[in-house]
Amino acid sequence: MPDSFKKIFLVLLLFPLWGISQQSVLDSLQQELATHSAKDSVRVSLLIKTAGEMTYSNPKEAFPLVDEAIAISSETDWIKGESYALRQKGNLHYVMGDDLAALDVYQKAQHLAESIGDRSLEASLLSNIGNIFADLKQYDRALENYEAYLTSAQKLGNVPDEIKALSNIAIIYNDTKKYEEGVANLEKALKLSKQEENDLFVAAITNNLALAYKKLEDYPKALLYYQEAADLAHQIGNKYIEASALNSIGMVNIILKNYDLAALNGRKALDLSQEIEAVEWQADSWKVLSEVYEHEGEMAEALHAYKEHVRLQDSVLS
């Protein structure tokens, strides 16, 4: 759904522990895994890092890695390793659109983090679980988790987490139609992200600023921010944000009756979302295309696209 702040903020809420980098990093990690077969903490860390690198590009193939990390951690009684592996598995479920499975795994990770006093992981999981509540439209519970996350991040002096917390809080303001407050929090987060030179955060926040301006019906500014987000996401290889931005560009162009541009961006987004198996973004792309086909009078194509939209959307919600 193009207007879902929660999903567009996903990359911030679920940002892997070690981040997203270039293909060369993934290749290096895979080589290290191939040469380190011992079932120990080193292999667990490599498995989690590798899965983190794959979260937004190839999440489906990352599941066996985190499952192995969980199994080794459990066998060796390494609670910290198991808790971080569970969190990463939750991230994968979430990117794949399975909110309930993600919530279950996050709660298991939270229990383990509390048992060993890992305040940093506890704080991060407040964000993840708060995001699920935002999904369920339980905004008071979501905001409670997000504000606790912000307080914890500030106490720990963790600027990246502070950025994510501000962005999370903006979710609630924007989803409850308090767009000015949402923009204010996003601007704070964007300023910190630029200071940190974190292109991933800049891309995600820019994408959500665009959505806020779309909600305020400032379509020229919305398109400007969406295009900036898509371009930066493309540069850093984050297909998840890129597909989101392209879908949204398509929808804004439908509002402006620029149907050729809507079709162009919708098809690009569909190709990307199919490549990374992001089912919800595929549903969004088909929605854009169904409206384009309907405008063009191609009713058979419009019906097919709409049915695909409904089918994929239902699969996310089921």
Concatenating the DSSP letter of every residue in 55-67 gives: TTT-HHHHHHHHH
Determine the pLDDT at residue 25.
Answer: 87
Handedness of CA 18, 22, 24, 30 (dihedral sign): positive
Helix, strand and coil percent figures for the chain, each rounded to 5: 85, 0, 15
Q: Which amino acid is at 311?
A: R
Question: Residue 47 in contact with residue 66, Cβ under 8 Å?
Answer: yes
Residues 160 and 214: their CA atoms lie apart, in Å, by: 26
Q: Give residue 67's pLDDT.
A: 98
- CATH architecture of structural domain 1-128: Alpha Horseshoe (1.25)
Fold for the domain defined by 178-318: 1.25.40
Q: What is the DSSP string of 113-181?
A: HHHHT-HHHHHHHHHHHHHHHHHTT-HHHHHHHHHHHHHHHHHHT-HHHHHHHHHHHHHHHHHTT-HHH
d(CA 109, CA 31): 28
Q: How many CA atoms lie within 13 A of 47 on its CB side?
A: 28
pTM: 0.65
Tell me, rounded to whole angstroms, the distance of Cα 138 from its chain centroid: 19
Reduced to 3 states, what is the DSSP secondary structure of residue 98?
A: coil
How far apart CA 79 and CA 291 sit, in angstroms, is 50
Q: Which helix (H) or strand (E) holds 200?
A: helix 199-215
CATH 1.25.40.10 residue ranges for the chain: 1-128, 178-318
Retrieve residue 287's tokens.
């929605």
For 202, list phi and psi in degrees, rounded to 5.
-60, -45
* C-alpha dihedral (22, 52, 250, 227), degrees to nearest 10: -40
Question: Whose structure tokens read 């498995």?
Answer: 47
Residues in the chain where the model's pLDDT stays below 50: 1-2, 8, 10-21
Distance CA 96, CA 236 (A): 20
